[in-house]
Structure formats: C-alpha cells, structure tokens
Structure 1
Amino acid sequence: MEAEIISVGTELLLGQICNTNAQFLSKRLAEIGINVFYHTAVGDNPTRLLNVVRSAEQRSNIIIFTGGLGPTKDDLTKETLAAHLGKTRVEHKQAMDRIHNYFKQRGIEMTANNRKQSEIIEGSVVFPNDHGMAPGMAIEVNDIHYLLLPGPPRELHPMYDRYTIPYLQSLFQEKYTVHSKTLRFFGIGESMLEEKLIDLIDQQTNPTIALLASEAEVSVRLTAKAKDLDEANERIATLEAELQARVGDSIYGYDDDSLASVVSHLLKQKSWSLAAAESCSGGAISQSFTELPGASEVFAGGIVSYSADAKMNALGVDADLIEQYGTVSEQTARTMAIQARKLFSADIGVSVTGVAGPEPTENKAVGVVFIGVSTKQGVEVFAPRLSGSRQNIQLRAAKYALFYVYEWLNRL
C-alpha cells in the first residue's frame, strides 16, 4: 500500500513551526510496511487543499491529513474533504461530551465554535482524542482510505499509536510483522559507508538497508518483513553479521543509543565517573550527559574554560605552557584533561580545545581541534580535523570527544 501525507496549516508554509508530524508518521508507517512517497504541506485554503487532495488520489491509496481539525474558521480539513467526498458532517456524541467536560471542569464558558471540533465525516471510523478535543477519523471511498489526524504532536502521536496503527494493520490481507534495527556509526562518512556496503545495498530485498546521515554520524536501518518477530530478527541478524564483518569497528550502538548513552553505560559497568573540561565545545559534552536520567552516577562535573584566564585560574594550566604552545594545542588539551579528572575526583577526564571559527585563532585554522583523555593509566591526545559552521564544529568536537572516550573504555 502507498501512503501520502498532507500537512495542513499556513503556519507550516510561513516557517513558524517545523513539520515534525510528517517525519513521525513516515517513520512509523515504514515500521508496519507502508511506503510513503509524497509529503505535501498546504495552507488553510480550501481551493488549494482540494487541488492537493485530487493529486494525491491519483497516486496513493492511503491519504493521511494532519491539522485543520480545530474550532476556528481556518480549520477546514474536515469541511473540505467531506464536501469533496459528498458526505455530511455529524456530531460525535462522545467527543462532544468530552469537550463539555473539559470546559466544565475548568469553570470556563464554552464558545459555540468548539462544537465544530466534535464533528466527524459520516461513516467514519473514529479515533478518540485522549489528549485533546477533536477526534481523528478514517473513511474509505472508492478504495482510498482517508485518515484525518490532529495537528498538535502531543495529540497526534498517542492517537496514532493507540488507534491508527490497528486500523492500518487491519487493511492488510496477509498478516505479517515488519521489524527494524538501527545500527549507529561514528567516524565513517555516509559516502565511505555506502561504498563498503554498495553490493549489499544493490542486492537488497528482505531485509532492506537504508542509510541516514546526521551531524557527524550515520545510521543504517535494517528492516525485515516476516511472519513473526522471531523470523524478522533472524533475517536481520544474518545481514547485521555481514555489516559487522565489514564495518564493525565504526559501530558504537543500536536503535535509540547516543554516544553519551553508550559511554554512560560503559562507565556504569566499571563504576567509573567522568569529568569534562571544555573550551570550543562550549559545554556540549556536559549537556549530553546531564540530558540522561541517572547522569549523576557517572558524570562528576564539567567546566567551560573558554578563555586563557579560565584555563589557568580554574584548571591550573600553566601560563608558560599557554604562552609557548597556545590555548589550542596538544599540550593544553593534555593538561586540561588531567586537571579535570583531578578537580572533580573522577576516574576519567576529557578535554576539548580548538578553533570553531569563523576566524582562525593563534594562527591555527578553523577546524583545528585537540581532545584529551586522561585516566590513571595515562593520557592520550587526539587531533581530528573538523569542518563546517561554528555550530557544526562545536557539536562534532563534542561527539568526537565522546567517541574517543568510548574507544578508550573499550580498550581497558
């Protein structure tokens, strides 16, 4: 089955919000074996929306709408589609009761236009809105399934998971499981990874292979279709073993893993703690750890020693060393890592100093970065050469630091 997503809302076209709903739905539809070939964003205009619907009907048998189900005049998705399909709109009692209760519990007068949110297209399968007012719905006309979902992600996501997935799965004549596993790569570019896997990509059938590049990382999603989960996992395991043999050195995690989460896991296994001394990365390492639940078990603390004075006064980097080698140097990174470990009484210290740009510093080019890793066993300094915008270099420097710590921990 082929699906198309139509996102309704002028705010999308004005760039006021990002279309995260289309991203969420595409990912989740792929997980159950439904292909999405088109995304369209259209403003709150019935004529343009109708033109988009007519185009979608020529190429897709599942059309999913997001947005335009609210109480105001510019919420026109239901009205436009109902008129196009020759259907009337009717009030859904359970939805209306929910709306009444919402206003009653809050002691607020319900305005008349809120009744509009309870309307559904006659003959629809209703998706209750457990986190909002307007219900979602699905209706089949001429072998095309039209699904209408609310725009707010906090309403759309749970509605899709609880009610929409079972509806979509009921459309399949043959019952099967679609399962995916994502491999997380670092230290290898998308083009290099593709070159090493090109024969597998060209020959893919079941499982399929999909590469996705993000900031300084690459993910490879393996997706298998099978009669049950065990068979799907077996298919994926066979292909994964081939990838491990070819590019296993660059795999650091799976599925929802991040560099910080896998480093945190390794630290917990060793009952170790980590401290960070950051300059050009501006606290990105510290943030990546403190975003994780239970970070205090492994993250002792961090310091952003951005200026030369901060490096000297807060970390105790020798002034003569800075004068001789500069703040962006192997020597400074080494001392920063050692001092971070000592300052926070941690088992491992990591440091980052470099030139994020946009201008060179100390006669060192933009992208020159030094990363130190210090333990009781010794100190090692790495010098990746990075590129991109200032923000790109800052983020990549932090990720490289985490990756070097990951490799160090795996060697111990």
Structure 2
Amino acid sequence: MIAEIVTVGTEILLGNIVNTNSAYLAVECANLGLTVYYQSVVGDNEERMKAVIRTALDRSDVVILTGGLGPTEDDLTKEVTAEVMGMPLVEDAHSKERIERYMKEYKKNNSQRRITSNNYKQALIPEGALVLDNHNGTAPGLILEKDGKIAILLPGPPVELKPMFTEEVYPYLRKKQPEIIYSQVVKICGIGESQVAEDIQDMIQAQTNPTIAPYAKIGEVHLRITAKASDEKEGKKLIKPVVRELKRRFGRNIFATEAEKTLEEAVVDMLRDQQLTLALAESCTGGEIAARIVNVPGASQVFTHGFVTYSNRAKRKCLGVKKATLKLEGAVSAKCAKEMAKGGCNAAEADICLSITGLAGPDGGTKETPVGTVFMGCCYNGKVVTREFHFTGNRTKIRQQATAHALAFLRECMMEGISKSE
C-alpha cells in the first residue's frame, strides 16, 4: 500500500516547531512495508487543507494526518477531512465522557481552571469513524475508511502521537499490510562513499530483494540492507547472506552492524576488550574527540585524560613538545603530532594516546600548509605512527571531519597494534 504523511500547523511552516512527527511516521511506515512517496506540511487554512487532503487521497491508499485536532477554531483537520470524505460529524458519547473525566482531573490540580465548552468540540467525530482513545491528552485519534481510502488522524504532540500510533494504528495497519520491511545497517569507516559505492556496484545492479542503499555521514558510510518479507524471521534470512558478503568485502572497516551503535561506542568497546587506557591530546578539535568518547556510557573505565593544548606553550608545558619542533616544523606538522602523542602517553601514563593538530581556518593557511591540513599521531606499544589529512569546507566542517577520522584512525591503530613505527 502507498501511504502519505500530511502535517498540519502554521507554526511548523513558520519554523516555530520542528516537524519530528513526519520522520517518526516515515520510519514506522517503512517498518510496516508501506511505501511513502510524499510528505507535506500545510497551514491552518481550510481551503489549502482541502486541496492537500484531496490530492493525498487521490494518489495514496493511506493518508496519515497529524495535528489540528484540538479544541480551538484553527484546529480544522477533523472537520476538513470529514468534509472531503463526505462523512458528517456526530457526537461520540464515549469520547465526551473521557474528555469530561480528563478535564475534571486536571481541574483538581488547578482550581482556577474551568472546563470550557470548546473542549467538547473534540467529541465530535465523522460518522462511522473508528475512535482511538488518547491516554495522554483530550483529543482522540480517528480512522476514516471510505471508497477504499483510509485517513488516519493523530494528535500533534509527539507524547500523544507516538503511543497512540504504537498501541492502536500499528496493529491496524499491520492487518492491512501483510508484508513487512526488515532492515539492517552495516557501518563502515576509514574509506569514502565513492569507494564503497564502486566496491558494491555489482551487488546493487543485481539486487531485487533485499536492496542496498548507501548513506554518507561525516567520516562514515552506512549501508542499509532492506528486505520485504512476511515476517521478521524471513527478513533476517534474506538479509543474512548480503551482510556476510559485505563483511567479506570490507572486513575491518566495518565497525558496526547495529543501527544504534556509534563509532565512538565501537572504539570504547575495543579499548575495554583489550583492557587499554586512553589519553587524548587535541589541538584543532578543541576537545571534540573527548566529547564523543565521554558520550559513551562506561567510558570512564578506559578514558583517563584529555589534553586540549591549543597554544604552542601548552603543547610544550603539558605534552613536552620540543621548542625546536615548533620553531622549525611548526605546530601543524607530523613531528609535532608525534611528540604530542608520545607526550600524552607519558603524562597520563596511558596505554594509548591519540593526538591531533591542524588548521581549521578560515585564516592561517599557506601554500605549503593550506587550511584543512591536519596531522594525527597515535602512540601505542612504545611506537608512534602519524598520518596526514586534508579536509575541505568551513571551520566547523573541517573540525567535524577531523574528529570522525581521528576515531577511525584510533580504531585502526588498535586493530593493528601499530605494527610499524614512523
């Protein structure tokens, strides 16, 4: 079945509220095996809402509308949808009783609040519609079916929408859509999107079910493998050989096969598994690598020190970088990165230390050392390796790329045990 998502609310058009509902519903529709071709946002205007809803019902089997179910005059979703589908509004005694009970309980906590008549607007429902009780607010949800088309009306607040969808709408749509979509993510670091795409071109050209879709993130490439199946067990069976082949092709560049697992979590897990302690010596990233590491619960077991040595003086004082190195080679150099890594290991008495120094811009670059030049060093097992990178973009983008590549470099050094020294 083809589904369409329509979000109602002028406040969303104005940017006052971020539209997270559409993203949530799109994921849930994909999980159900529904195909979503269109998403739209329309303000609280009756004529424009009619046009959007008519168009959506013409081209889609299921239209999911969010927002505009409240008690005020500009809450028009139910009224407009009912008119478009030719379903007159009637009072629903069950909904009215629930609204009264909810309002009386609320009034107990605020004696100045009174129950206004406009709240009962929410008890009017399109005749023949299925009512979805709202356990987290007053506006009930609705499912309207007519002439082979389905309109599902959900409240706008995510705290009301999400449980209603999970408890009521998902089971309803599951019965309508026998197939499900099952997917798994393979996450890759250390190589770029173009290389990954080239390496799986034959798989993409031959694919039918399941399919592979690449997504680029800063410093990472994610491959989503998606299968249509009758149930989760069959979906897993279809995806398993594809994941096995990707592991064969990309090997150690794969850091996760779970959607939730981050690169920093993979690094912390590796440190924990190898019983290593980590120190970081950062310059141009200003502590961003440390920030990502400490986002991981349990990082304190492995991460001991983070040095942010932004100035040359700090590099000398905290990490023991030689004055001659800074004078002759410069702070943005392989030798400085090497001495930072070694000095960080010694100062923190850590098993491994990653260092980073570079030019994030926008100023300070030269022909020999342009903006975006970054050097990294890793000291482990008494050896130090360094690597030179060249990133593009503005200051923020360069720092983000440097942080992501630093985590990948650290992971690579641990896997190799730093087999060679500079």
Question: When the two structures are superposed, what TM-score results if normalisation uses the length of structure 2?
Answer: 0.89
1:66 aligns with 2:66: yes
**Paired position in structure 1 for 2:172:** 167
1:313 aligns with 2:314: no
Instruction: State the number of aligned residues.
Output: 410
Structure 1 residues 117 and 24, CA gap change in structure 2 (3 angstroms): same
Residue 242 of structure 1 and its aligned partner are, at CA, apart by 2.2
2:286 to 271, 282, 288: 282
1:150 to 155, 159, 162: 155
1:76 aligns with 2:70: no
Q: Give the Cα separation in 1 of the matches to 2:154 and 2:9.
A: 13
Structure 1 residues 248 and 270, CA gap change in structure 2 (3 angstroms): closer
Residue 397 of structure 1 and its aligned partner are, at CA, apart by 0.6
Q: Give the Cα separation in 2 of the matches to 1:105 and 1:410.
A: 59
Q: Give the Cα separation in 2 of the matches to 1:247 and 1:406.
A: 15
Q: Which amino acid aligns with 1:97?
A: R
**Deviations 1:292-326, CA, capped at 9 Å, x for gaps:** 22221222232322222332333333333212221
Q: Give the Cα separation in 1 of the matches to 2:160 and 2:304.
A: 38
Residue 327 of structure 1 and its aligned partner are, at CA, apart by 1.6
Structure 1 residues 230 and 335, CA gap change in structure 2 (3 angstroms): same
Partner SS state of residue 306, structure 2: strand
Structure 1 residues 128 and 279, CA gap change in structure 2 (3 angstroms): farther
Q: Give the Cα separation in 2 of the matches to 1:308 and 1:117.
A: 66
Partner SS state of residue 200, structure 1: helix
Residue 389 of structure 1 and its aligned partner are, at CA, apart by 2.1
1:410 aligns with 2:411: no
**Any gaps of 5 or more consecutive residues in structure 1?**
none
**Paired position in structure 2 for 1:234:** 237
Bigger Rg over Cα: 2
2:303 to 299, 302, 316: 299
**Deviations 1:235-263, CA, capped at 9 Å, x for gaps:** 11111222223333432212211110111
Alignment of 1:184-333 (within 5 A): 184-254=187-257, 255-333=259-337
Structure 1 residues 386 and 280, CA gap change in structure 2 (3 angstroms): same
Q: Which amino acid aligns with 2:34?
A: I
Q: Which amino acid aligns with 2:28?
A: R
Identity of aligned residues (%): 39
Structure 1 residues 376 and 200, CA gap change in structure 2 (3 angstroms): closer
Residue 48 of structure 1 and its aligned partner are, at CA, apart by 0.9
CA contact (8 A) 1:96 1:118 kept: no
- Stretch deviating more after TM superposition (53-62 or 84-93): 84-93
**Any gaps of 5 or more consecutive residues in structure 2?**
418-422
Q: Give the Cα separation in 1 of the matches to 2:304 and 2:138.
A: 45
**Paired position in structure 2 for 1:340:** 344
Q: Give the Cα separation in 1 of the matches to 2:293 and 2:112.
A: 43
**Deviations 1:355-387, CA, capped at 9 Å, x for gaps:** 112223466211111112122342111112211
**Paired position in structure 2 for 1:48:** 48
CA contact (8 A) 1:65 1:149 kept: yes
Q: Give the Cα separation in 2 of the matches to 1:398 and 1:319.
A: 26
CA contact (8 A) 2:189 2:253 kept: yes
Structure 1 residues 81 and 404, CA gap change in structure 2 (3 angstroms): same
Residue 207 of structure 1 and its aligned partner are, at CA, apart by 0.9
- Stretch deviating more after TM superposition (254-263 or 82-91): 82-91
CA contact (8 A) 1:95 1:135 kept: no
1:394 aligns with 2:399: yes
**Paired position in structure 2 for 1:102:** 106
Q: Which amino acid aligns with 2:341?
A: A
Residue 285 of structure 1 and its aligned partner are, at CA, apart by 1.1
Q: Give the Cα separation in 1 of the matches to 2:286 and 2:167.
A: 41
Partner SS state of residue 163, structure 2: helix
CA contact (8 A) 1:95 1:128 kept: no
1:88 aligns with 2:92: no
Partner SS state of residue 145, structure 1: strand
- Stretch deviating more after TM superposition (66-75 or 400-409): 66-75
Q: Which amino acid aligns with 1:43?
A: G
Q: Which amino acid aligns with 1:146?
A: A
C-alpha RMSD of the superposition: 2.3
Q: Give the Cα separation in 1 of the matches to 2:137 and 2:311.
A: 49
Q: Which amino acid aligns with 1:246?
A: R
- Stretch deviating more after TM superposition (115-124 or 31-40): 115-124
Residue 121 of structure 1 and its aligned partner are, at CA, apart by 3.8
Q: Which amino acid aligns with 1:32?
A: L
**Paired position in structure 1 for 2:132:** 127
1:370 to 368, 371, 375: 375
Structure 1 residues 258 and 82, CA gap change in structure 2 (3 angstroms): same
Q: Give the Cα separation in 2 of the matches to 1:135 and 1:343.
A: 62
**Paired position in structure 2 for 1:13:** 13
Residue 63 of structure 1 and its aligned partner are, at CA, apart by 0.5
CA contact (8 A) 2:99 2:120 kept: no
Q: Give the Cα separation in 2 of the matches to 1:132 and 1:318.
A: 65
1:359 aligns with 2:363: yes
Residue 282 of structure 1 and its aligned partner are, at CA, apart by 2.3
Structure 1 residues 141 and 404, CA gap change in structure 2 (3 angstroms): same
Q: Give the Cα separation in 2 of the matches to 1:248 and 1:276.
A: 27
